[in-house]
Amino acid sequence: MSIRGLLVALVVLGILGGGVYWSERKKSAEEAKEASGGGATKLVTLKDEDVRKLEIQRRGAPAVTIERDKSNQWQMRSPETWRVDQDAATGIASAYAGLSYDRMVDEKPTDLAGYGLQSPAVELTVSGKDGKSRKLLIGDDTPTASGAFAKFADDPKVFTLQSSSKTSLDKTPQDLRDKRLLVFEADKLTRVELAAKGTPVEFGRNAQKEWQLVKPKPLRADNGVVEELVRKLGDARMDTATTEDAAKSAKAFATGTRIGTATVTGNSGTQTLEVHKQGEDYYAKSSAVQGLFKVSKDLGDALNKGLDDFRNKKLLDFGFNEPTGVTVRDGDKNFAFQKNADKWTSNGKQMDPTSVQSLIDKLRDLKAIRFMETGFTAPIVDVSVTSDSGKRVEKVQIAKSGNVFLAKRENEPAIYELDSKAVEELQRAAADVKEPPPPPKK
């Protein structure tokens, strides 16, 4: 081999040797970093969906045990048999599956008491679907209070966990309790009843799945207001943050004033919630859970409503659907407008779309300022509105009794008192619909 070739070979060999040296050095450094605790290291290989049972033993308290049933729903077995907040329970399983330590403190400790692990603050026993269990011990907080000392029962190593990890695992029965007072799927409800202010009311869904009043008699309901009641009932929670004991809540409920009783019926059966007020506080009793509970003022206000609060005050239902036909008879004056494509016409003549839209807006805004039982006389104004591609035709009549305007919808018993100014503006808007101005001259 020539001298030049020998030199090239030596250079290549040196480069390869240096690469191996630095690779081994980097590997050793990473191993040293892991052993000394420089950075979080994963502790658990179990997947959260494979966790089947959790037992949390807090120092000085009964153990809480929850486990998944055959339908994969968490159930509480001890110390109570309360319904479980599924998200809260799954959160523990996820936190455990993702557990990692911040720092390795002691690989062979001789005194666990110094870490609070001789008598741990929390013992978490986790069982997987393979039937195997492992216990995690969590001791005292670190001197900086940024974490806590911990170890596994089957491993001598002591490490530190982040405070957030401890918080995610350290749960009481109340933390895991399903705090809903009624358990239902809102879109599966078929009936809602409310006995509160005045006459009891009952709501049912129509063919369009909108809420309508069924009792005390069939009436149009304000779907949005009923939906808000349903939402409040679905959000009703027991106030577990209060330190008020069960006996005090029971006494407050028994001596308080009844605000209302709501009953919901759906695919989960029929459930009832009764709310009483004592002083400035509200208390509830539910058929879905045992006990009497303090609840929010918001829930009390939601139930403290009567029939007229839920009635649809809008005279016409077309809402923001654009009508395709409008007719108005005002005394001996008749107006009829039809929409073809994007053009409004009357008696074959094209009409100014802005003036027609003004009329539609006045019709859309007509609403009751109160409801009446009697007083409707001969109509002075007749209105018909066609919408929803011709599927919906609404007809109303407006009468005048003294200085009061009253209205009725076709085939409905309700009488609506209207604001006189709104009726007068409607009459003017109908008379003001005109042909479009001629195009500007070029």
pLDDT at 244: 66
The domain 41-176: what is its CATH number?
2.60.40
Structure tokens at 155: 């491993």
Provide the residue-wise pLDDT of the chain in tens; the chain has 442 residues.
Answer: 455 454 444 444 444 444 433 344 333 333 333 434 445 688 999 999 999 999 999 999 999 999 999 999 999 999 999 999 999 999 999 999 999 988 999 999 999 999 999 999 999 999 999 999 999 999 999 999 899 999 999 999 999 999 999 999 999 999 999 999 999 999 999 999 999 999 999 999 998 899 999 999 999 999 999 999 999 999 999 887 665 678 888 999 999 999 999 999 999 899 999 999 999 999 999 999 988 999 999 999 999 999 999 999 999 999 888 999 999 999 999 999 999 988 999 999 999 999 999 999 999 999 999 999 999 999 999 999 999 999 999 999 999 998 999 999 999 989 999 999 999 999 999 999 999 988 777 6
Q: Where are the domains of the chain?
A: 41-176, 186-310, 325-431
- Residues contacting 353, CB < 8 A, separation 6+: 342, 343, 344, 436
Q: Which two tokens stand for residue 177?
A: 């309790």
State the Cα–Cα distance between residues 21 and 14, nearest whole angstrom.
10
Count other Cβ atoms within 10 Å, centred on residue 323.
Answer: 23
Residue that is written with structure tokens 């959000």 in the block: 235
Identical fold, 41-176 and 325-431: yes
Q: Please give the C-alpha separations between residue 119 and each of 58, 116, 216, in angstroms, as whole numbers.
A: 10, 6, 64
Distance, in Å, from the CA atom of 303 to the CA atom of 315, rounded to the nearest integer, reads 25
Q: How far is CA 139 from CA 43, 65, 95, 147, in A?
A: 17, 20, 17, 10
Instruction: Write out the CATH class of domain 325-431.
Output: mainly beta
Joined together, the tokens standing for residue 29 give 């450094």
pLDDT value for 13: 44
Report the distance separating Cα 296 and Cα 277, nearest Å.
Answer: 11
